[in-house]
Amino acid sequence: MSASNAPLLTRDEVSRLSSRRSSLDAPRSTPTGKREYHRFTPQQERELWELFQTCKHPSCVDRRDLALRFGVREKNVENWFNNRRREWGERRIERRGDRSSSPPPPSRRHRA
């Protein structure tokens, strides 16, 4: 096989990642039944922020890649991006001024 046709991962690597992935997908909870919250390391947060600056909605492939590299569930990465988009939107609204007291403009689809 030439270098350009070489597989990205060996069978052993795929097998190791697959078994690791299934253990990461299991719901995590404490003995009291409360869910554990994941905290990203500062280095992981830097990488997430760098991607967020260029892309607010990463593809599922990008999220999966980050999750595998970080050793976390894809849902943790997805939740991080959802939370950052929510915070980002709230800050944008605050910068425009407090418009929460006025009703939202009517939708064009529902206009009579």
Predicted confidence (pLDDT) per residue in 61-84, tens digit? 999 999 999 999 999 999 999 999
pLDDT of residue 2: 46
Percent residues over pLDDT 70 in the chain: 61
Nearest to 68 by CA among 9, 4, 5, 7: 9
At residue 66, φ and ψ (nearest 5 deg) are -60, -45
Tell me the HSE value of 33 on the side-chain side, using a 13 A CA sphere.
0
- What is d(CA 74, CA 94) in angstroms, rounded to the nearest whole number? 31
Per-chain mean pLDDT for the chain: 76
Contact 70, 44 (CB under 8 A): yes
| pLDDT at position 56 over 90 | yes
